Amino acid sequence: MGPRVGKSSASGRDRVLALRLTRAVAEFLARIDRPGAAVAGLAQGVLSPLLDLAIRLWLAQVFWVSGILKLADWQTALYLAANEYPVSWMNPVSAAYLGVSIEIIGALLLAFGLATRVAAVFLLALTIVIQLEYKALNEHLYWAVLFGWYFVMGAGPLSLDAALRRGIARSAVPLVGPIARATGLLERRARPVFLLVLRGWLGLILAGLSSTGTEGAMRALSGLRFTDPTPAVGALGWSGWILTGLCPILLGLGIATRPAALVAGLLLLAGSSSPLLGELARIDLAYWVLLLGLVALTGPGVLSVDRIVSSVWSRMLGALVAAEAAGATLPHVVIVGAGFAGLSAARGLRHSRCRVTLIDRRNYHLFQPLLYQVATASLSPSDIATPIRELFRDQPNARVLMGRVNDVDVSKRSVVLGEQRVAYDYLVLATGARHSYFGRDEWEAWAPGIKKVEDATEIRRQILIAFERAETTEDALERQRLLTFVVVGGGPTGVELAGAIAELARHGMEGEFRAIDPASADVVLVQAGPRLLPAFPERLSRVAARSLEQLGVRVVLDRRVDSINETGVAIGAEWIETRTVFWAAGVIASPAAKWVNAQRDAAGRLKVEPDLSVPGLGNVFAIGDTALTLAWNGAPVPGLAPAAKQAGTYVARVIRAHLSGRRPPPPFRYRHLGSLATIGRQSAVVDFGPARFSGALAWWLWGAVHVYFLVGMRNRISVAWDWFWAYLTFRRGTRLITGIEALVGLLMITWS
């Protein structure tokens, strides 16, 4: 027994040492991997679909133009098919008809990404015939490779195939099941081989640039034609040795494949003007950038050293996690709120040795800055909301709970979630804020704010019903009340909401009503202070006021609201008859400060330490609109998405430092990235500190920034398309009156 116990103890110590070593390596690699993972995620989510779309459109336009030109001069097309490039085994007339059909139909299918594999097969066959029967060109070989790519890989996310895949697979269309299974089998079996061959082909051609002696071999292996001999690569210096020596080896074996493809592409671009790279770089450069870009964004495939190393490492990490789970409970980080701050904190703990639980009362993350566009029928709620579980599908240490937090028991370190308690080791409060009526909460019944999807759809309902009722009423005074809209609050939300209502009335409903002119609607923006957008420079505030007035908005400054009821609004001595009032005048933080019994300011925000922890509670943090944090100028950090994301990322760093026993980061410092607000069509203001501008450029920049900050590629594409369509047509696509209240409103219209 004795020797066996000793041997068991020794093996146990060995396992502990192995686990500690593996954990240390894992933490080191994770720390290195974070920026790389962020870049890879951006590339995979944004650049890869765009590159795929660009390649499809480029190839499609080549064949589309060729087909249209032949159709426009059919006699010449028949002559060419019979004399210039006859196909020995096909009748010239049949060849012309078939070729033009493939060019036009295949190009359309490829451009839209519909039945992409089928289109790619026919276009590939046509390309091979052109290369063999007509004229051999390097360009044809690149076409063949790219069509082979689409046959094996299919189209990317920006395609009809991707949009319809799930619905068609579950439909009753004949043979769709076997076709889907065959397509899946093709991709699983052929994808690794195709990527291996592609990497090897690219590597061989790059290696062939190194000396004139290999030119003949390269011609035979690649099929590419070079008009000038390529001199020795020694004249290119160290970059030449990397391009033709190191990169081919890395690409061929699949070692550091993405960086190797990226470096090769950059070196080709940098040396494209040099005669030393010959015709390959000068004429075929665009295709080389596309092919290397595909490899860099897609990765090396299964048949590569990268994948083998990744697989081995994943198994080691899996064993480590299983061993830790069996031996001890990992620290538990609970994050309350799935706004920008909460999401950033959870993502920042992705590679940390902890369990993360994200709690929110809704199952989706909402992009609040664009809620007013839902309220004014420019966007639908699904355009600016993303399911939280979808966002954390690939984060194994994260769990999502849907529920409303009622309290926090600091003494027992638990969050009260209805009847349930969730214990925590670290707590992050990112519960946001709601609109404040400055002690006049009874006004909420007549002047709804806009903080939730429900708020936005309710405002949209009120706006649209006001126009519908104005169309049917015979009372001129009531019609004027219905066509008067008052927005209280001159910050970004109020300015953007007032401008959007004015645009909807003047452009979005043109020609749709008979008894009223929607453009005659009176939109009033009330601001208690001396100017709009008080957080912006005074010059930009004047620009915003002038732009609103050009849209037809009446701007009322230095006047406070004294009363609101169902018939109108009292602003000082003026009484405005209206049925529709919207509140955008102020916010108050969630009751998080009450939960932890901590000091708060007049707006309910928790006063926090420099590391964003709650005073006296080192393991409890408050971020985003929940916290009172001072910026570089001594004022509170603004309630902007970049500020919330910075705070969430910072708190994740603090918690990681605690978990690993490292020195904590320096105090939180908010980096102001600028402020933006849009007023209307081609009108916005931008404050980037030294750079302050307005007008059309600011408007385009505002749109680009907001699309970038949206969560999820589908949302970005959907919003960009909706905006582009509305810009071209002046039409709003989501003018739906929904809900029980809508039915009551329509009944009232009928009865009146």
Amino acid 464 reads: L
DSSP 545-564: HHHHHHHTEEEE-S--EEEE
Q: Is 82 exposed, middle or buried (0-12, 13-18, 19+ CB in 10 A)?
A: middle
Q: How many CB atoms lie within 10 A of CB 618?
A: 13
DSSP string, 356-395: EEEEESSSEEE-GGGHHHHHTTSS-GGGSEEEHHHHTTT-
Cα–Cα distance for residue pair 455/449, rounded to 1 Å: 7
Which amino acid makes up residue 55? I
Question: How crowded is residue 309: how many other Cβ atoms within 10 Å of its Cβ?
Answer: 12
Residue count of the chain, please give it. 752
- Read off the DSSP letter of residue 681: T
Tally Cβ neighbours within 10 Å of residue 392.
20
What one-character DSSP code corresponds to residue 521?
Answer: -
C-alpha radius of gyration, the chain, whole number: 32
* 496 noted as active-site residue: yes
DSSP state of 132: I
* Integer CA distances (angstroms), 747 to 176, 290, 480, 481, 513, in order: 46, 59, 21, 19, 19
Query: What is the token pair recorded at 159?
Result: 């395609």
**Distance of alpha carbon 479 from the chain centroid:** 43
Helix or strand (DSSP H, E) at 679: strand 675-680
Contact residues for 59 (Cβ-Cβ < 8 A; gap 6+): 107, 110, 123, 143, 146, 147
704 vs 175, 640, 676, 681, 719, CA distance in Å?
A: 43, 16, 11, 14, 11
CA-to-CA distance for 623 and 626, rounded, in angstroms?
Answer: 6
Q: For residue 719, what are the CA distances in angstroms to 382, 683, 713?
A: 10, 18, 10
CA dist., res. 215 & res. 717, Å (int)? 45
β-pairing, 574-577 vs 568-571, is: antiparallel
Residues 6+ apart with CB under 8 A from 238: none
- What whole-number distance in Å separates Cα of residue 340 and Cα of residue 266? 35
CA 624 – CA 341 distance, rounded (Å): 6
All residues at 6 or more sequence positions from 475 whose CB lies less than 8 Å from its CB, including other chains = none
397 and 355 Cβ atoms separated by less than 8 Å: yes
Distance CA 146, CA 55 (A): 8
DSSP assignment of 529-547:
SSSS-TTS-HHHHHHHHHH
Among candidate residues 298, 265, 260, the one with its CA nearest the CA of residue 43: 298
CA 738/CA 57 separation, integer angstroms: 39
Cβ neighbours of residue 311 under 8 Å, at least 6 residues apart? Answer: none
Q: Catalytic: which of 444, 496, 538, 609?
A: 496
CA nearest neighbour of 286 among 267, 269, 304, 264: 269
How large is the angle between the packed helices 257-270 and 176-208, nearest 10 degrees? Answer: 50
Q: Which residues are catalytic?
A: 496
